[in-house]
Structure 1
């Protein structure tokens, strides 16, 4: 006798309404921050009539970058989270049954934008997130105390 149970799992976009947490940071950011401008900013980077349609949209990849920033994920960790984490999957715009992108798509997107445009767009989003009250600007302190090291040749000091 088998212990496995077979269930019927019928779902559509409304399944997220049952699975996502309304008090989660990503939900709150999604409610308050406008990501729509990124597709317009990046429209010159993609051809509308050549090649396959864009599946990893600029908005999806920028949303992924925000998740990476907030949770300190590498590109590979982000790929994994986009595959298995329901909140992340919902936030970046993947359907529950969709596979995540390959981690290289994130680096390719940053390269395609270029560092100046990437910084402009990303910090514009971070400013929205900060203005919405989800992230406070931080002051960083550096311990720069001078210490004489135990080196092999002490006569060089």
Structure 2
């Protein structure tokens, strides 16, 4: 017989959020990893907040909510808060009960800035890597480095002269905040122009065949054993940022024992190769033989089998960039200012690591049970 279309709720309902999440849901191992790392940040959280006053958003819940935004490609914090109201999976992951009140999006943004001020994301990234190191997932000898372009949340029209002269517009365009602009034949460079929307962004193009855009550069240092990111940073977009960021990340590695670092042709410069060797790091850089002056890498490096292996493994770094741009939404950041973009990039790379670690642990558990 045909069922009734009416809905009648029970007067009393006994249900837990745990009952709505399947036992094999992929977020379960991810949440366990995150909670294990957050426990180690309890001391830092105690120093951030005062002992008295009105209770704010718990930093653990705030950080889980920020990770949900990355995992599920939520466009904005306003949309995230809206979805938390009715999405039971999000509530379970964050740690909100069914009848708990959800924060206002403005309160969420202000508390997120507090995490930025105290570098909580960087510390969280470190704790996640500590967990990976304890479980023997990290290599301490072999690494890869690469950079990617992050489009800024600013348009070309905001890129105006620093001396405030109005010589970029089209006199016949008419009034309006979004009037057409004509830059044909007018020089525009970072030395003379800056974005009024995001002054930290820079006009940059990745290659001669691509258009120049307002952007930042995100840089990643990846270890070779499990393909996990062990260093991530955002810099201004320029022609030297990739190599300078690579050396800075190599300097953060503990110890001075011999290491290798793989990279693409953009790092095949004499100053970078020399700086690596001064740090006891063998540069397994792709040879750029057509470069003016020749390649800085010779047969002493390329003849070894390890060089070919490094050149093969280094391509896995693109998996983090690809995941971050399609899922984590770092193709074009929605934040302004290099500090906030850096926080977003680090959080996205941390989320990429957590997803990869959860898969590794699941595979190890399945192999152990056989």
1:41 aligns with 2:44: yes
Match of 2:21 in 1: 20
Q: How many Å separate the matches in 2 of 1:10 and 1:76?
A: 30
1:6-155 alignment runs, 5 A limit = 6-8=8-10, 9-11=12-14, 15-33=16-34, 34=36, 35-49=38-52, 51-54=53-56, 56-73=57-74, 74-115=76-117, 117-124=119-126, 127=129, 144-147=206-209
RMSD of equivalent CA atoms: 3.4
CA deviations on 1:15-57 (whole Å, 9 max, x unpaired) are 22321122223222122331223343121222222x2233x20
Per-residue deviation at 1:126?
5.4
8 A Cα contact 1:82 1:89, kept in partner: yes
Q: Which moved more, 1:115-124 or 1:66-75?
A: 115-124
8 A Cα contact 2:69 2:80, kept in partner: yes
TM-score by length of 1: 0.68
CA deviations on 1:91-125 (whole Å, 9 max, x unpaired) are 10100122211122332123223346133134236
Q: How many Å separate the matches in 2 of 1:127 and 1:22?
A: 26
8 A Cα contact 1:42 1:113, kept in partner: no
8 A Cα contact 1:39 1:58, kept in partner: no
The structure that is strand-richer by fraction is 2
Q: Which moved more, 1:112-121 or 1:101-110?
A: 112-121
| Runs of at least 5 residues in structure 1 that lack an aligned partner in the other structure | 134-138, 150-157
Cα gap change, 1:93 to 1:45, in 2 (>3 Å): same
Cα gap change, 1:124 to 1:107, in 2 (>3 Å): farther
Q: Secondary structure at the match of 1:52?
A: coil
Identify which of structures 1 and 2 has the higher relative contact order when contacts are C-alpha pairs closer than 8 Å and 6+ apart: 1
Cα gap change, 1:127 to 1:103, in 2 (>3 Å): farther
TM-score by length of 2: 0.33
| Runs of at least 5 residues in structure 2 that lack an aligned partner in the other structure | 138-145, 150-204, 212-370
Aligned residues: 141
The structure that is helix-richer by fraction is 1
Q: How many Å separate the matches in 2 of 1:87 and 1:22?
A: 12
